[in-house]
Amino acid sequence: MDERTQELIELTKNKFGLWDYSLKRSSYNRSVNIFNETVYTLSMEWFPNHVLEPVDEDENPDGTAVIEIDIHSRKFQSAIFVMGQTFAKNGVTFASKNDIINWIEQETGLRYEQQFQLRKEEEGELHFTECIGGVDVSPSGMIEVNYNQEGNLTLFSVHGHFPSKERVELESYTLPFEKIEDIAKEQLKLLEFPLFDQQRLVAAYAVEEIYVRNDQISTIPFEPIVDVKGYLKVDKPLSWDEPLRTMFERKEMKWHEEVTAEQASSNEPSPDSLPITEAEQEKCVRVVRDFLRQEYPNDSGIWIIRTLHRENGYIHAILRATEQDSRVFQRKVNIMIDSKNHQVINYMDNLMMLKMFEEFEIPEKVVISKDEAFEKLKGKYELTPCYVYDFDQKQYVLCGKIDCQFGVNAATGDVVGLEDI
């Protein structure tokens, strides 16, 4: 084991009081953040010394400490004691909520209420979210701390990017709802929501969230799950004259990348950080079209490649149907391409999930217009400031997030909470 790795292991043992533990497994990992930077971490699994019986290779006994540290910043990303049990001695202990906040500031270098703020407090748990000067951020970082009745740390995790000042375009928020009312109305959509317990679909007008720039001119789409990677927009329709008669064979995906100590130490850029070139884009479009000619031979003109992105050594092509219905869940295919030889390896189609809705009772007749629905919801819209990462500008810019917790039942005209649909 090299000297640097040993130093990180000793740092971890001392920090978390793992004197009655033994290091069972360790590995280096790397990922690419939204700034296209490669982040290297050392993951460690510490077993309590009193565990004598054999343990399944894929299982960790209760009390195991699973800890991950960024090897270059030497900041801990997570420390989880399995099943909330800890056998640490002179480890991390808290006497109060202020103790926890001060400890987070010390460990992360972040400032409370400037870069992170308390979002939820439960017994033995504190949940924080990322902020910039008290304003929400998207994609949002999260910090969680759990502790037992004795005040001993049982879980700590940091997820997010928490940008430096250089990445933030600070502004004063000046976005009144009246100025963006047309955009707000445009975001009102007639959608079919599934009621799983009743096996039926309900048509309702609901607001599709969106970010409006503080300049009132441009918008940024809302993504419910923002990955750590940027997406290359392609928007290429796919059509063909003849199918391919050869059969497509799925190949096993390699989900975990082997990372060496040398790669981690030298901070070698991950292949996932490389841009997708025009030549690669053309190859991906070609192999995706050929794949569709094999697996979806009758679907010429039905599919469009929306985006390409790199992930775990593969290039992922996200396909959407050119014509979408009004249901909340839309048809999607994710095609995984080997980034070295540009061959399709595997794919995921959400058709099976969508098919179950075919058994649902269809919605009742729509009796209310979009204009009428908007007037009913207008006073319930939310417009809140939020700093959003703009992948084109490579900066966080101030926006107003348009949202609404209510919808209008299109068959009755009743205003209802979306959680009740």
pLDDT at residue 421, as a whole number: 81
Kindly tell me the sign of the dihedral angle through the C-alpha atoms of 240, 246, 252, 254.
negative
Report the pLDDT averaged over residues 115-133: 97
pLDDT, mean over the chain:
93
Query: What pLDDT, in 10s, does the model give residues 52-104?
Result: 666 677 788 999 999 999 999 999 999 999 999 999 999 999 999 999 999 99
Query: Which pLDDT band holds residue 138 (cuts at 50, 70, 90)?
Result: very high
pLDDT at residue 216, as a whole number: 77
Determine the number of helices (DSSP H) and then strands (DSSP E) in the chain.
7, 22
What is the three-state SS of 341-384? Answer: CCCEEEEEECHHHHHHHHHCECCCCCCCCHHHHHHHHHHHCEEE
pLDDT for 295 beyond 80: yes
Phi, psi torsion values for 383, nearest 5 degrees: -130, 105
**What is the C-alpha separation between 377 and 396, in angstroms, rounded?**
30
pLDDT for 185 beyond 90: yes
User: Across 3-7, 254-258, 335-339, which has the greatest mean pLDDT?
Assistant: 335-339
Query: Which pLDDT band holds residue 188 (cuts at 50, 70, 90)?
Result: very high
pLDDT for 227 beyond 60: no
Instruction: Report yes or no: 303 and 334 within 8 Å, Cβ to Cβ.
Output: no
Q: Write down the H helix ranges in 147-195.
A: 181-186
Nearest residue to 210 (alpha-carbon basis) of 418, 330, 420, 384 = 384
pLDDT for 328 beyond 80: no
pLDDT at residue 231, as a whole number: 83
Q: Report the percent of the chain where pLDDT is more than 70.
A: 96
pLDDT for 13 beyond 80: yes
> Which tokens go with 392?
């084109």
pLDDT at residue 354, as a whole number: 87
Query: Which pLDDT band holds residue 213 (cuts at 50, 70, 90)?
Result: very high
358-391 burial: b if 16+ Cβ within 10 Å, else e: eebeebeeeebebeebbebbeeebebebbbbbbb
Q: Distance of CA 421 to CAs 211, 330, 406, Å? A: 24, 18, 9
Instruction: Report yes or no: 341 and 315 within 8 Å, Cβ to Cβ.
Output: no
Q: Report the percent of the chain where pLDDT is more than 90.
A: 81
pLDDT at residue 361, as a whole number: 92
Query: Which pLDDT band holds residue 330 (cuts at 50, 70, 90)?
Result: confident
Nearest residue to 327 (alpha-carbon basis) of 206, 185, 220 = 206
pLDDT at residue 326, as a whole number: 67
Nearest residue to 117 (alpha-carbon basis) of 108, 107, 126 = 126
Query: Which pLDDT band holds residue 204 (cuts at 50, 70, 90)?
Result: very high
Report the pLDDT averaged over residues 327-341: 89
Query: What pairs with residue 316 in β-bridges?
Result: 309, 336
- The answer for residues whose C-beta is within 8 angstroms of residue 419's C-beta and 6 or more apart is 405
pLDDT for 223 beyond 80: no
pLDDT at residue 280, as a whole number: 97
pLDDT at residue 55, as a whole number: 66
